[in-house]
Amino acid sequence: MSSPFFETKIEFLKGVGPQRAELLRSELGIYRVEDLLQHYPFRYVDRTRFYKVNEINADLPYIQIRGKLIELKELGEARSRRLVGRFRDETGELELVWFAGLRWVKTAIRTNVDYVLFGRPNLFNKRYNIVHPELEPVSDENTLRTSALQAVYPSSEKLNARSLDSKGLGRLIKTAIAQMPDQVSETLSVELVHAMKLLPRREAIVQIHAPSDPELLRRAEFRLKFEELFYIQLRMQRLKKDRNARYQGPPFSTIGSNFNSFYKEHIPFELTGAQKRVIREIRQDVAKGSQMNRLLQGDVGSGKTLVALMSMLMAIDNGYQAALMAPTEILATQHYQNISRMLAKMPLKVALLTGSTRTVARREIAEQLQSGELHILIGTHALIEKGVQFSKLGLVVIDEQHRFGVEQRSKLWAKGDVFLPHILIMTATPIPRTLAMTLYGDLETSIIDELPPGRTPIKTFHYFDSAKPRIYQFMREEIALGRQVYLVYPLIEESETLDLKNLQEGYEQIVREFPDPKYKVSMVHGRMKAKEKEHEMRRFKDHETHIMVATTVIEVGVDVPNASVMIIESAERFGLSQLHQLRGRVGRGAEKSYCILVSGDKLSTDSRLRLDTMVRSTDGFEIADVDLRLRGHGDLEGKQQSGQVNLRLANLAKDGQLVQLARQAVLALLEQDPKLEAHNHHMYVDRLRDLNAQSGNWSRIS
């Protein structure tokens, strides 16, 4: 939309003005006419059919009736005040009720006037009524509608108060469409529009807001969703090509003695086929001379850390240092202990740097880092502090990258010398394919999709609250075998709105059921001071306590091979991804492990599907796909994450095929014209410039 009309500030559109413009900006992010036209309907209602009162039934979502308001009276006192009206046509009467805006309603509507009524029928005390109906005086416009589908727009309480409810927004959009130029600049090439059989852009805008029929609405949605996804993919792929061309990474041309010695002599088990495949992919990346930016996905326990370590050995064999950044001190410590143990018989120096590292140790680390004596530095966000200077940083591994903002990652990324360090991002949160292509489309992706031999699958069960005695008995049996138990609660305080088990009450209940001195119980939650939390988690890791009562702070946390049971209270309150992550805390050793999901008796359809999926499957990617379908893609925009995605219409949970189509179209375009220099591709460059101006460009930081 490169026409000046679309760039018009929203306050200059007829019917808006400064005060409404400020509300539109703050409530809906609408700054320009283009933003208003991209405020799409969330559903449509049929306003062509008129019902009779005697045709009403509870299965009808919305109805429209022509008749008269024959009575209007105010009932109740104080908070229970309401307006009640009687609406009649030739077949009968129904009741209308208003609970809010009573003063406005009393002045706006009158009795014994012909109205068109629109609203959702409810059955109350065996009689039908409509709460907060729409009433319009009868006119040719509302009785002779030609468009079957009327748009309904998302709004807010503040907007409603300024008459910018769905109807008010619809009037503004109608004004904008009436002023829209007859010729609207295309944002897709003529060839692509023809090849994909897309509606012209102007027609798509009109039809999405005022569809002539369901088929044209479908085609308008397809066109606008495709365009949205196409430009996300185009930005990602262009950034990827640009970064590969402009930014050099250190060329790891040698597979040397450290890598070979470790592989042949220091791994006590055979690598899985998936691990070998991913190491080959990384090897090919780092040998090219351009900077690697690779996302490594794999379930908890799939062996990502070993792959990361072998990648670090490639860096060391080529004269470079490596860094690993983890989101928490305990996770960084765990990585340090595991990597130090694996490298114990090799002449390599590894150090740990966290917020707790003492000044003397920090000074020693800084000296060894700058001299090149230190090969691998593992730590938390302490790694990005100014005083941490590497001699020759060649590889950065970031664990659970979604826990770091891009500003934090950029500071570590900038610590390279002549070359930018290669970036390997690890996540134990499986990302559905459509989401990965959209959020991380500028990264290469590797997946470890098999577990190492000897890992016993975790058995998952779902029980209702009434089964507590059986669950406690099972816990006693496991503890008697020398095992440990996690018990996770969703909240740490009483909540009047959510009927949840309180962590403190849960802790007290467990202490009563498992009394000292035979049993030891720890408690961990997010409001504890970091040192207290670390102390309690370390006690559990060191087998000083048998039961860990916790909130989700242990979702990504300490590795306790001896913990064999994960019990999740009020499991219906958790998302699928979170349940899967929590389950991954057990099953770290060779013993049989169990995950027990405990819920209340009343489960929604979605909650039951989540729990059934957990019981049925341990495949993280299958679970992630179900989670995406249930929750949608959520808010993917913002500096906290990639800053690349702002979906106004497309839905990654439902439009997977469209994501793939858009990606294929982009790859074909860039294969034909990598720099978008052809005269018929100028609109792509213009549109990308507009999009980049509207959102911060964090593309250089993986």
Q: What confidence tens digit (pLDDT) does each residue in 579-623 have? A: 988 898 888 776 789 999 999 988 888 899 999 999 998 888 788
| Residue 451 per-residue DSSP state | P
Using the predicted structure, report yes or no on whether residue 399 has a pLDDT greater than 70: yes
Share of the chain above pLDDT 70, in %: 89
Helix (H) or strand (E) holding 3: none
Look at domain 459-617 and name its CATH class.
alpha beta
Q: What is the pLDDT of residue 521?
A: 94
CATH architecture of 257-448: 3-Layer(aba) Sandwich (3.40)
Selected residue with higher pLDDT from 573 and 405: 573
Residues of the chain within CATH 3.40.50.300 domain(s) are 257-448, 459-617
pTM beyond 0.75: the answer is no
Average of per-residue pLDDT values in the chain: 85
CATH no. of 51-144: 2.40.50.140
Predicted confidence (pLDDT) at residue 10 exceeds the cutoff of 60? yes
**DSSP labels, 412-438:** HHTT-SSSPPEEEEEESS---HHHHHH
**Residue with more model confidence, 85 or 636:** 85
> What confidence score (pLDDT) does residue 59 get?
74
Is residue 143 predicted with pLDDT exceeding 60? yes
Can you tell me the mean pLDDT for 169-192?
Answer: 93
Nearest by Cα to 334 from 528, 525, 560, 590: 560
Q: What is the SS3 assignment for 371?
A: helix
Under 8 Å between Cβ of 301 and 354: no
Q: In this predicted structure, what is the pLDDT of residue 568?
A: 95
Side chain identity at residue 45, one-letter code? V
pLDDT at 439: 67
The answer to whether residue 243 scores a pLDDT higher than 90 is: no
* Structure tokens belonging to residue 396: 């950065």
SS3 assignment for 503-556:
HHHHHHHHHHHCCCCCCCEEEECCCCCHHHHHHHHHHHHCCCCCEEEECHHHCC
Residue 629 or residue 129, greater confidence: 129
Q: Which residue has the tokens 């500096």?
A: 639
Whether residue 492 has pLDDT greater than 90: no
Least confident window among 79-93, 120-134, 324-338, 638-652: 638-652
**Intervals of CATH 2.40.50.140 along the chain:** 51-144
CA–CA separation, 140 vs 594, rounded Å?
67
Supply the pLDDT for residue 239: 80
